[in-house]
Structure 1
Amino acid sequence: MLLIGDEKATEGPTSPVVVVVDDDPAVRGSLKFALELEGFDVRIFATADEILHQNMADLPLSGCLVVDYNLPGINGLDLLRELKQRHVAWPAILITSHPTEQVRRRATSAGIAIVEKPLFSNALSDAVRDTFRRPGQ
């Protein structure tokens, strides 16, 4: 299986790709709508299992992950750790309500930005844009 960041992956679409993982259908739909209005190519997944079993060969070499912390079965930080072990090299943003100090420390040490819910104004789209401005993106 080819994964995000695999050198054999295709170049894909011209718009920057954002992969959203959130178990709430309303959140997934609203994030897809809002980020597409900002010009991103948005792919959505409802669970960690869904993205972990996805063939990523159709995605470009770079993009951004937006992952909810509270996923069924596995939390967002553990999902991002698993994706990293599978050589997914995209920057990530964790979305969550009221993150604990432990969650903040884990995210910071892994280089993962946190955007707190509820998602007001342009905080998430600004954070996504910032990931594409980082070196290597």
Structure 2
Amino acid sequence: MRVLVVEDEEHLAEGLRFNLEAEGFDVTVRENGEDALREFGEGQPAYDLLVLDVMLPGIDGFEVIKKLREIGEYLPTLMLTARGRAEDVVKGIAAGADDYLAKPFDLGVLIARIKGLMRRREWIVGSAPDSGDRVTINGRVIDFKNLSIEFEGDKQPLTIMEVNFLKYLIAHEGEVVSRADLLDKVWQVHGDTDTRAIDNFVVRLRKYIETDPAQPKCLLTVRGVGYRLERS
């Protein structure tokens, strides 16, 4: 498995390289966001996972993950945040990250989180609801096995967190799910946190599943509370 580590603190980056290589990973380290993005140019080898620091020289980790998602790179991403600030966590996940770890951290914990992230991907692949690994919402087919959504021949990749989000809503179809519950159960962010990032996250999902995202018929807002999914 190939892992890209984007970290500007040399001692930490080399520690990550050493420990991940000891676990059998093929590791590449980059010190800034610009160099990291170049790793995803045409002809570059594919990575299986990204470990991305938020605070980087030049463009920060939020911008890196945003740009990667914009160009269709949906590899699992673990974001490293300063002091585990809830606002960093929420912003990172809303931008497209799949998991987070607060600095400072134990390297053993990081390796466990990486393995957990890959297991989570395998769990998604192996535990889709209904009678298989494909669920239809408004004529859009969510393919849990391939982490994508298909409509009229077009396929849109999904992040692990987007799939987790959709699975949670499907499991509670017809019920009102609060923003706080989504933060807790899906994003695993606890305490008082600005929930506007969830609204932005939902806006992105509506572009995938709604005929007219400005007039949603499936992923509905329940004012002052949260959201309700109605499949059609």
TM-score range, shorter chain: 0.7 to 0.9
Cα distance in 2 for residues equivalent to 1:120 and 1:29: 14
Structure 1 residue 22 corresponds to structure 2 residue 14: no
Question: 1:126-137 residue pairs with structure 2 within 5 A?
Answer: 126-133=112-119, 134=121, 135=125, 136=146
Deviations 1:26-72 (A, max 9, x none): 11111000111111111111111112223463424x51100011001
Q: Distance in 2 between matches of 1:59 and 1:39?
A: 18
CA, structure 1 residues 65+119, in 2 after alignment: closer, same or farther (shift >3 Å)? same
SS at match of 2:79: strand
Report what 2:108 is aligned to.
Answer: 122
- C-alpha contact 2:83 2:104 (8 A) present in aligned 1: no
Aligned identity (percent) is 25
| Greater Rg by CA | 2
Q: Structure 1: give runs of 5+ residues left out of the alignment.
A: 1-15
Counterpart Cα distance in 1 of 2:114 and 2:42: 20
Q: 1:100 aligns with which of 79, 85, 93?
A: 85
Q: Please tell me whether the aligned partners of residues 8 and 32 of structure 2 are also in contact (alpha carbons under 8 angstroms).
A: yes
* CA distance in structure 2 between the aligned counterparts of 1:124 and 1:17, rounded to whole angstroms: 16
| 1:50 corresponding residue in structure 2 | 35
Q: CA deviation at 1:111?
A: 4.6
Relative to structure 1, the CA distance from residue 56 to residue 125 in structure 2 (aligned partners, 3 Å threshold; closer, same or farther) is farther
Letter in 1 for 2:112: D
Secondary structure of the corresponding residue to residue 122 of structure 1 = helix
Provide the rounded CA distance (Å) in 2 between the counterparts of 1:28 and 1:56. Answer: 25
Paired amino acid for 1:127: R
For 2:112 and 2:42, the matched residues in 1 are separated by 25
User: Number of aligned pairs?
Assistant: 121
From 59, 68, 71, give the equivalent of 1:86: 71
Deviation, 1:76, is 0.9
* Residue 64 in structure 1 maps to residue 64 in structure 2: no
Counterpart among 1, 12, 20 of residue 35 in structure 1: 20
Which residue type is aligned with residue 45 of structure 1?
Answer: R
Query: Whose relative contact order is higher, 1 or 2, with alpha carbons under 8 Å and at least 6 apart?
Result: 1
Query: Considering only aligned residues, what root-mean-square deviation do their CA atoms show, in Å?
Result: 2.0
Unpaired stretches in structure 2, ≥5 consecutive residues: 126-145, 148-232
